[in-house]
Amino acid sequence: MRFLAIGECMAELAPTAAQGDYHLGFAGDTFNTAWYLARIRPDIAVAYFTAVGTDTISQKMREAFSQSGIDDRHVQALPDRTVGLYLISLDNGERSFSYWRGQSAARQLAQDPQALSQAMGDADLVYFSGITLAILDAASRETLLKALRNARAVGKTIAFDPNLRPSLWSEPSLMIDTIMQGAAVSDIVLPSFEDEARWYQDADPTATADRYVSAGATTVVVKNGPDPVHYIQDGVTGTVPVPLLSSIVDTTAAGDSFNAAIMAGLEGGTPLPDCILNACRMAGQVVQGKGALVPLDPGFLDQ
């Protein structure tokens, strides 16, 4: 399988064990998923579609892509732009973020329809998120949605994490409407119930799943923190309990790694409930480390 993730990778400052010290890395929701997918399925060709600058930190980011086994052939280098930066703050395992992304080249990633079409043509599964949509202007957003719609029409599988981030949108109504437009071009939708309940007033995870099926998705997996994961696949519904964790260090990228395991399993023909259990185990490892990209125990799927 050939996998393409579309979105923004940022420079990440993550706290270390030493008080006041931070580690510089590179992360971002769709990139994190690509990184974890490359870790657990090295047989899958993983590529990333984004835009960066031509400065030193942009070059270091591209080097990080290559070192992670992620193909950067579809990364655009834009002069007079750079990459966004975020800093993670932790409070008892829960994270909050401070962002600096005004000059982020990724905001212009969808301005070339031909580049989008070519990148999607090289993929079997295309993955994007609500953050991917949020960072774009209206015209670029429509360009991306059109390209995704066309890719799906010719047999590409489209996967989408709504990843609701109201601070990135000019108003909540725009976010709510655009997320559903993203779902309408997608086969697989991977929402988180806490966010969905707040912004769509879903009564329970089943309501979230039903809403995305109504939008056109065939597979919906609703993450719900420590509570059971709800799913619908081709009209079949079910739940999968989440294994208990004794402690949580940092929840950064828990959902991103979960998504990687879901797509890896589905590509391999694993039944969806088993995919979900493996995804929970993977996310459970990720929250035991700090930062977005956490080394994995290679035997975690055998637990």
Tally of CA atoms within 13 A in the half-sphere of 227 that contains its CB: 12
Q: CA nearest 88: which of 293, 291, 248?
A: 291
Tokens, residue 252: 């950064």
Active site residue 177: no
Given 29, 161, 250, 256, which residue is catalytic?
256
CA–CA gap between residue 81 and residue 12 (Å, rounded): 17
Q: Which amino acid is at 183?
A: A
Ramachandran angles phi, psi of 62, nearest 5°? -65, -35
- 3-state class (DSSP) for residue 231: strand
Q: Which amino acid is at 26?
A: F
| 154, 124 contact by CB (below 8 A) | no
**If you search the block for the tokens 């994007």, which residue do you land on?**
128
Q: Which amino acid is at 147?
A: A
Q: Which amino acid is at 10?
A: M
Q: For Cα atoms 139, 143, 145, give the angle at the middle one, nearest 5 degrees.
A: 115
Q: CA nearest 225: which of 198, 248, 202, 194?
A: 194
Ramachandran angles phi, psi of 87, nearest 5°? -120, 135
Q: Which residues are catalytic?
A: 256
